[in-house]
Amino acid sequence: MNQAAYAAVDWGTSSFRLWLIDRTGHVLAERRSDEGMTRAATIGFAAVLQGHLGAVGAAADLPVIICGMAGARQGWVEAGYVDTPAPLAAILAGAVTVPGQSRDIRILPGIAQRCTSAPDVMRGEETQLLGALGNDAAGEALVCMPGTHSKWAEIRNGTVARFATFMTGELFAAISHGTILAHAILGAEAAEDRSAFQHAVVEAFKTPARAANLLFRVRSRQLLFGGSPAAARETISGTLIGLELAAGLAKGAPRGNLTLVASGRLAVLYRLAFDTLSVAVQCIDADAAVLAGLSRAAAATWTR
Amino acid sequence: MNQAAYAAVDWGTSSFRLWLIDRTGHVLAERRSDEGMTRAATIGFAAVLQGHLGAVGAAADLPVIICGMAGARQGWVEAGYVDTPAPLAAILAGAVTVPGQSRDIRILPGIAQRCTSAPDVMRGEETQLLGALGNDAAGEALVCMPGTHSKWAEIRNGTVARFATFMTGELFAAISHGTILAHAILGAEAAEDRSAFQHAVVEAFKTPARAANLLFRVRSRQLLFGGSPAAARETISGTLIGLELAAGLAKGAPRGNLTLVASGRLAVLYRLAFDTLSVAVQCIDADAAVLAGLSRAAAATWTR
């Protein structure tokens, strides 16, 4: 494994991902675990990282570049924020070195929107943006990054002009498990219902103010007309995603060059939602984007 | 206690209320407990009811009129629904007798909107409507009945033309306890922040599509600018109520003769929300309304 040039780490709240990368940018090895910030804060960040580095046979002096919640106040070392309007290049320049380590470990900063009328923060998604768009991209782009806390970012000439977080994924979880609708979706598991999802996206997009009513209809519909648990779950999902899209695609937002940065099931769902609304969107894999962003950061930090 | 004419019971999902009423409509005694439908289904509905009747010294043949979830399919005896457009007088006529009881016990039906595009159900609120408006009210009214599942009903000449349920209260509970915002409101307890509530109502009313973003700002604001747990909690509350009002007061809804049927803290919050939006509203106490509705039903059932 001595051809490794550095390790790249995406350290989220509940997940940890590490890639071992060679000089040409190829992935030599990959590790995934649930030792996100929350668990790592208990175990110890250095121990978690060293465990994974040891498992892939990393050299003792292999440098490590990290993005995500490891740089939060409650994380390993606070990496602060670059304030909007935030040039993506400033992310590269803002990396913080973890002190007292035998190897060179850098944590990338997040982005903060210190605006009292629309305060917002991101940590990790700035690295996806860096990977998806590069730090010298010309022109305007609107980027949707779905997740527990979906981010919508407006980028102008390589600078994050502004962004907004929608707690869509977390609302889905809280509503699916913590309300009367938990009964409606019991047994849905992996079953799908594309048409229920698409119908819900359109309804919420057209009448976002009715969101709390559209959600209750999931129960009323099942009570009065029956219907599958899968249809119920997809309706909840479609309602919340349609609500998010109603804001993200509202008049005034830049519609040209819309990019979706997502992976797995979220990529499928959001792509379907955009298609349902006849909104053209370019798709970039979120895993590839974060890795590309970390690689850019590594190149800026350790090569010249 | 032999002057009692009947007992009136509001039997919800999680609460039980009983009033002992004399021939002139005066309340002789009152009982409240948490033996709502959910607990009563385990204990036994007859036993719960008899326990409370015994505690207030009710005669063995005292009749009982009941509204609410005791009439649901999972309740004591299914009392069905009156379909929209639902004359409030049909509620009175639709009472179901509980079989096999030594006393005369009637359960009032709910209202169903069997419309595939906007299915909805209510149980208990129809009795509040009956009490608040009477069954022969002329003209149009828009009635807001806040709660775990808030109801907005359009009444025309004593008939419920249509209605919509918003799961505002349940969303507040799920979001306050089951998301990252639980940390933001820790320690808020009884403290209030009227201006945070009012600001949130206005924001959500103006831009309902941004609801999931307005909620996340509660966390971002605290992270970047500080702020009290009470402000955070009132912002969540105001956002969800503002979202509900954006739909309830949307163009096309009848705005004249708007009536708020609520009690306690919900009455205060919704009243403040309407005032903040400069919307004139008539307020009726929900407890008084349900009791008046049950009394009308008792009068229609047992006196002539």
Section A283-300 average pLDDT: 96
- What is the rounded CA–CA span in Å between residue B291 and residue B17? 10
pLDDT higher than threshold 80 for residue B158:
yes
Return the number of CB contacts < 8 Å for A and B: 135
pLDDT higher than threshold 60 for residue B20:
yes
Task: For A69-158, list the strands marked E by DSSP.
Answer: 81-83, 86-87, 96-97, 105-107, 110-113, 120-122, 140-145, 150-156
Question: In sequence order, what are the residues at sequence separation of 6 or more whose Cβ sits closer than 8 angstroms to the Cβ of residue A16?
Answer: A9, A10, A31, A32, A33, A34, A35, A36, A40, A48, A52
pLDDT higher than threshold 50 for residue B173:
yes
- B225 is written with which tokens? 């600018």
pTM to 2 decimal places: 0.95
A206 touches chain B (CB under 8 A): no
B234 touches chain A (CB under 8 A): no
B206 touches chain A (CB under 8 A): no
Section B250-259 average pLDDT: 77
Sign of the CA dihedral A115, B230, B176, B203?
A: negative
- What is the rounded CA–CA span in Å between residue A299 and residue A240? 39
pLDDT higher than threshold 80 for residue A157:
yes
- What is the rounded CA–CA span in Å between residue B300 and residue B293? 11
The residues facing A258 across adjacent strands are A142
Backbone torsions φ then ψ of A268, nearest 5 degrees: -65, -50
Rg (CA), chain B: 21
- What is the rounded CA–CA span in Å between residue A124 and residue A106? 14
pLDDT higher than threshold 50 for residue A1:
no
The answer to whether B119 contacts A209, with C-beta atoms less than 8 Å apart, is: no
- Using one digit for the tens of pLDDT, what is the confidence trace for A37-74? 999 999 999 999 999 999 999 999 999 999 999 999 99
Q: Pick from A207, A224, A237 the residue to mutate for testing the B interface (most B CBs within 10 Å).
A: A224
The whole-angstrom distance between A273's CA and the closest CA on chain B is 16
* Closest chain B residue to A246, measured at CA: B209
- Using one digit for the tens of pLDDT, what is the confidence trace for A6-34? 999 999 998 999 999 999 889 999 999 99
The whole-angstrom distance between B227's CA and the closest CA on chain A is 12
The answer to whether residues A166 and A152 touch, using CB atoms and an 8 Å cutoff, is: yes
Considering only CB atoms, A224 lies closest to which of B112, B212, B247, namely B112
Q: Pick from B83, B125, B148, B167 the residue to mutate for testing the A interface (most A CBs within 10 Å).
A: B167
- What is the rounded CA–CA span in Å between residue B123 and residue A46? 57
* Closest chain A residue to B168, measured at CA: A212
Q: Pick from B38, B181, B210, B239 the residue to mutate for testing the A interface (most A CBs within 10 Å).
A: B210
Q: Using pLDDT thresholds of 50, 70 and 90, give the confidence band for residue A257.
A: confident
Considering only CB atoms, A217 lies closest to which of B120, B210, B220, namely B120
The answer to whether residues A121 and A111 touch, using CB atoms and an 8 Å cutoff, is: yes
Q: Using pLDDT thresholds of 50, 70 and 90, give the confidence band for residue A253.
A: low
Q: Which residues of A82-117 are buried (b: 16+ CB within 10 A; e: fewer)?
A: bebbbbbbbbbebbbebeeeebebbbbbbbbbeeee
B208 touches chain A (CB under 8 A): yes
Instruction: Express the helix, strand and coil content of chain B in percent, nearest 5 each.
Output: 45, 25, 30
- What is the rounded CA–CA span in Å between residue A16 and residue A34? 6
- What is the rounded CA–CA span in Å between residue B34 and residue B16? 6
A60 touches chain B (CB under 8 A): no
Rg (CA), chain A: 21
Q: What is the DSSP letter of B138?
A: -
pLDDT higher than threshold 80 for residue A252:
no
B138 touches chain A (CB under 8 A): no
Angle at alpha carbon of residue A261, lines to A258 and A263, rounded to 5°: 140
Backbone torsions φ then ψ of B284, nearest 5 degrees: -130, 135
A179 touches chain B (CB under 8 A): yes
Q: What is the DSSP letter of A256?
A: T
Considering only CB atoms, B212 lies closest to which of A114, A168, A173, namely A168
Please give the pLDDT value at position B255: 61
- A185 is written with which tokens? 């979706």
- What is the rounded CA–CA span in Å between residue B4 and residue B8? 11
- Using one digit for the tens of pLDDT, what is the confidence trace for A174-188? 999 999 999 999 988
B251 touches chain A (CB under 8 A): no
Question: In sequence order, what are the residues at sequence separation of 6 or more whose Cβ sits closer than 8 angstroms to the Cβ of residue A265?
Answer: none
pLDDT higher than threshold 60 for residue A304:
no
- A204 is written with which tokens? 């919420």
Please give the pLDDT value at position A255: 61
Please give the pLDDT value at position A202: 98
The answer to whether residues A7 and A62 touch, using CB atoms and an 8 Å cutoff, is: yes
- Using one digit for the tens of pLDDT, what is the confidence trace for A220-241? 999 999 989 999 999 999 999 9
B191 touches chain A (CB under 8 A): no
- Using one digit for the tens of pLDDT, what is the confidence trace for B22-31? 998 899 999 9
Considering only CB atoms, A164 lies closest to which of B164, B213, B247, namely B213
- Using one digit for the tens of pLDDT, what is the confidence trace for B27-84? 999 999 999 999 999 999 999 999 999 999 999 999 999 999 999 999 999 999 999 9
- What is the rounded CA–CA span in Å between residue A200 and residue A254? 24
pLDDT higher than threshold 80 for residue B122:
yes
Q: Pick from A167, A180, A183, A239 the residue to mutate for testing the B interface (most B CBs within 10 Å).
A: A167
Distances (CA, A) of A140 to A8, A39, A154, A156, B93: 28, 38, 7, 5, 64
B190 touches chain A (CB under 8 A): no
